[in-house]
Amino acid sequence: MTRPSTVLPTDEPRRRRQTILTLVLLLAALLAGVAQSSSRAAGVASAAARTDRAATGTGWDAIGRPSATDAGTTRGTGAGSTRPTVVLVHGAFADSSGWSQTVGQLTDDGYPVVAVANPLRGLTADANYVRSFLQTVPGPIVLVGHSYGGAVITNAARGVSNVRALVYVGAFVPDAGESIATAADPVRFPGSLLGPDTTVVRPVANPAAPDGQDVDIYISLEKFRQVFAADVSAQRADAMARTQRPLTATANFEPSGEPAWKTIPSWDLVTTADNAIPPAAQQAMAARAGAHVTTVVSAHDVMVSHPAAVTKIIEQAARAVS
């Protein structure tokens, strides 16, 4: 028995046309997406090429140094104009992230800038470490130190001929034979809150120590804001306290060598509300070094609480030696 033939409804051809049209539209959308992806891939490849050029010929080279061709090239100041590279060295109870706002301001103003991680293990060892970095930077350098970082740059710049200026911000500026424990003589310059009542010590192995054993010194969490960061909120000071990097006793007591400020011009930003390094001690050290002195009403954490003042004195020094 044969089956009766099926008769298509009268609107079936229209449905087929709609189905075909839908498939065509889907195919067109797919092709457009492929084209768009190809365009994005080309853009990524172009960006990668620009990055490769930056790593090998412009900006920073393959091992992270400012390149010889572009170190100091400014943005928006005319072809061929150059500016010194700014190298920032943090001190005790801090790290390089403290310079973040100043780094942003300096780069916006066209300066090549890098913040070096200070080991905080011993003055000679730390200065040698920073000096090894300076020796990889082509062109003129403005070298900046905060707190104990001032003692480090005083020694690190010695013998590095392209360091054109030293900038001290809330910093120690020791002479030969002085440590940071003696440069700001507590008898002549009382007022520092750093001491046994505000610090915690923990034993640590330290290759820079004479016998390999040392202690790390921290500011206690409860006292950190009062000693170091009185200008910022309690919440921010607490975060800084919990992420502080300690200074060893060796770094605290090791004497300085011949200071670079005797041969390199210097600038000094004195922090007049400082509870770590008394302002009178800062003024005395700056005067002895013959520094160009500026003051700011700031606690010790000046690069965090008053970054514009830090940027301003760095750029003053840079312009003076350019």
**Looking at the predicted structure, is the pLDDT value of residue 313 above 80?**
yes
Q: Give, as one character, the DSSP assignment of residue 290.
A: T
Neighbours of 34 (CB within 10 A): 10
Residues 6+ apart with CB under 8 A from 210: 250
Residue 148 class from Cβ within 10 Å (0-12 exposed, 13-18 middle, 19+ buried)?
A: buried
Q: What is the pLDDT of residues 176-213, one digit of tens each?
A: 999 999 999 999 999 999 999 999 999 999 999 999 99
Q: What is the pLDDT of residues 224-283, one digit of tens each?
A: 999 999 999 999 999 999 999 999 999 999 999 999 999 999 999 999 999 999 999 999
Which residue would you say has higher pLDDT here, 47 or 240? 240
What is the C-alpha to C-alpha distance for residues 270 and 280, in angstroms, rounded to an integer? 9
**Looking at the predicted structure, is the pLDDT value of residue 126 above 60?**
yes
The CATH number for 85-321, chosen from 3.40.50.2000, 1.10.10.10, 3.40.50.1820, 3.40.50.720, is 3.40.50.1820
pLDDT interval class at 221 (50, 70, 90): very high
Domain boundaries, the chain: 85-321
Q: Which pLDDT value is given to residue 18?
A: 53
What is the C-alpha to C-alpha distance for residues 5 and 31, in angstroms, rounded to an integer? 41
Provide the H-helix boundaries in the chain: 12-56, 100-108, 123-134, 148-156, 180-183, 224-228, 234-243, 249-253, 279-289, 302-305, 307-321
What is the C-alpha to C-alpha distance for residues 246 and 116, in angstroms, rounded to an integer? 16
Q: Which pLDDT value is given to residue 52?
A: 34
Q: Give, as one character, the DSSP assignment of residue 232.
A: S
